[in-house]
Homo-oligomer: A and B are copies of this chain.
């Protein structure tokens, strides 16, 4: 298939801190790159520096951050790129707004590791600090996380291996005509 005809997509990972969104996003990027697809991961330092800088963890600022990422992801997707996002994006209604912006290209993927698992992993030590009151408005502890009621894909990173998780993502992209 020629690139002009390739369908872009917004692969929107949502889930708690420590659920494995970034790890899965990177592994998916590699797998898609190996298939010759154009792919961008909107996550990490570059997004923090250019899109999220100065924003707080208030509801309004979280929403602004999510919609800003959605705007960029949609620009990429409508140009044939598979844009992968890895923001916690805790609010159902805001994810619905992101979906409305991106249209049919939006694939919501719930990275569903439960709080107990994420807190036990505590890769960055954030849960410990949140429990100690050192971080305010921490999703899952002192701020809500609203899991999807329906979404295109759920990935239980606490029971699947990373390879299995990636295979599950690719299978969904295939069944939706993106691959």
The contact sample of 7 A-B pairs, CB cut-off 8 A, is A51-B71, A53-B64, A54-B64, A72-B72, A72-B75, A76-B76, A79-B79
- Asked if A38 lies at the interface with its beta carbon under 8 angstroms from chain B, I say yes
Residue A4 at the B interface, CB < 8 A? yes
Give A61-99 as 1s and 0s: 1 = Cβ < 8 Å from B's Cβ atoms: 000100110011001100111000000000000000000
Out of B2, B72, B75, B79, which one reaches A80, CB within 8 Å? B79
Beta-carbon contact of B46 and A3 below 8 Å: no
Contact B79 A40 (CB under 8 A): yes
Expressed in whole angstroms, the minimum distance between the Cβ of A157 and any Cβ of chain B is 27
Give min CB distance, A97 to chain B, whole Å. Answer: 12
Contact A38 B75 (CB under 8 A): no
> Which A positions have Cβ atoms within 8 angstroms of B?
2-4, 36, 38, 40, 46, 49-51, 53-54, 64, 67-68, 71-72, 75-76, 79-81
A4 in complex: contacting residue of B3, B54, B71, CB < 8 Å: B3
Distance in Å: Cβ of A170 to nearest Cβ of chain B: 20
Complex contact A38–B68 (CB within 8 A): no
Complex contact A80–B50 (CB within 8 A):
no
Q: How far is the CB of A60 from chain B (nearest CB, A)?
A: 10
Q: Known contacts being A50-B71, A71-B51, is A79 close to B2, with CB within 8 Å?
A: no
Are the C-beta atoms of B51 and A68 separated by less than 8 Å? Answer: yes
Q: Give the distance to chain B from A26, nearest Cβ to Cβ, in Å.
A: 17
Tell me if B2 and A38 are in contact (CB < 8 A). Answer: no
Q: How far does the Cβ of A11 sit from chain B's closest Cβ, in whole Å?
A: 15
